[in-house]
Amino acid sequence: MWTATTVEELRRLRASTPGSVALVPTMGALHAGHVSLFEAARADGHAVMVSIFVNPTQFGPNEDFDRYPRPLEQDLAACRHAGVTGVFRPTVDEIYPPGQLECLVTVPVLADILEGAHRPGHFAGVCRVVAKLFNLVQPDVAYFGQKDYQQLRIIEAMTQDLAMPVQIVGRPTVREPQGLAMSSRNAYLTAEQRHQALALYRSLGKAKNLVEADRERDPSVVESAMQRVLRENGLQVDYAVVRDARALAPLQRIEPRGLDVVALVAARVGNVRLIDNMVLKPPMNT
């Protein structure tokens, strides 16, 4: 497995890689969720390139950029173990050379709601770095987790609208046995908070049950029930909503038209902010 820290090295190593190339962009602190993306890409027959870059432009001024975990040796071992071909782990100055004029890439209709409303500028930072990584690596395909559902939708919209020649593959969320979605930020949780954090998954299960088994059609009923589960467990709710799965627009009613809907939650356990989501399939009336 090669590693590259500069753009020049990366371009050289990329040029000497035959066959189709998959890129998996990450911020490191790798866990089984990331590894599932590497393995899927390999199983699909691609040479797998992983970027490890804690991207400052997607963090707000009071967020956890400085304390974000950076266990590099462990991450490289995980990549090696998963059969990754190469790792690109640039410095901040390599990606954002001082003095360079900034470019803004965004998908406003998706970027300013939900996560974007709570983290202004976050998705512009994500789009900028992903567009840049696509240009640097020139992958045939890129793998992303459904764990970051809104991010996945934005990347799909960006590549489609700008005709970027990269196929986007979304992969299911990998969870711990009790349902907590794997996340690098779970490392911030105490044992007690980890237990409390299970409420995110439970609130999504509640939504699924209401929509799929009880055939609840009123989004506000489902949303109130999700919020209740989160609050009862002592979480501070940023949002708990049911949206159309494509544009993430609010729904008048949950209609079983074959269109999927998605339940999305963001909540804080102490000062750790976690997100999760679940796609729901409203049953047809019989």
Sign of CA dihedral 281, 284, 285, 286: negative
Q: Taking CB under 6 A as the rule, does residue 262 contact ligand AMP?
A: no
CB nearer to ligand AMP: give 59 or 282: 59
Q: Tell whether residue 33 is a contact of ligand AMP (CB under 6 A).
A: yes
Q: Report the residue number, 147 or 206, with the smaller CB distance to ligand AMP.
A: 147
Question: Does 36 engage in binding with ligand AMP (CB under 6 A)?
Answer: yes
Give me the half-sphere count of Cα atoms (radius 13 Å) on the Cβ side of residue 239.
Answer: 16
Range list of β-strands (E), the chain: 2-4, 21-26, 47-52, 86-88, 141-145, 167-171, 236-244, 261-269, 272-280
User: To the nearest whole angstrom, how small is the minimum distance from the Cβ of residue 27 to ligand AMP?
Assistant: 4
In the complex with ligand AMP, the residue whose CB is nearer, 59 or 219, is 59
Task: Tell me the DSSP string of 29-48.
Answer: ---HHHHHHHHHHHHTTPEE
Four-residue CA torsion sign, 199, 201, 202, 204: positive
Q: Which is nearer to ligand AMP, 49 or 222 (CB)?
A: 49
Q: Is 125 in the site for ligand AMP (CB under 6 A)?
A: no
- 173 lies in the site for ligand AMP, by CB under 6 A: yes
Among 106, 183, 196, 227, binds ligand AMP (CB under 6 A): 183
Distance of closest approach, residue 145 Cβ to ligand AMP, in angstroms:
2
- Smallest CA-to-CA distance from 279 within 167, 160, 144, 173 is with 173
CB of 147 vs ligand AMP, minimal distance in Å: 4
The residue (of 167 and 220) whose beta carbon lies closer to ligand AMP is 167
The helix (H) or strand (E) run that includes residue 193 is helix 191-196
* Residues 129-148 within binding reach of ligand AMP (CB under 6 A): 144-145, 147-148
**Which position among 3, 10, 23, 26 is part of the footprint of ligand AMP (CB under 6 A)?**
26
Does residue 54 contact residue 68 with C-beta atoms inside 8 Å? yes
Round to whole Å and give the CA distance between 284 and 155: 31
Residues with catalytic function: 34
Q: Report the interface residues with ligand AMP, using CB under 6 A.
A: 26-27, 33-34, 36-37, 144-145, 147-148, 171, 173-174, 181-184
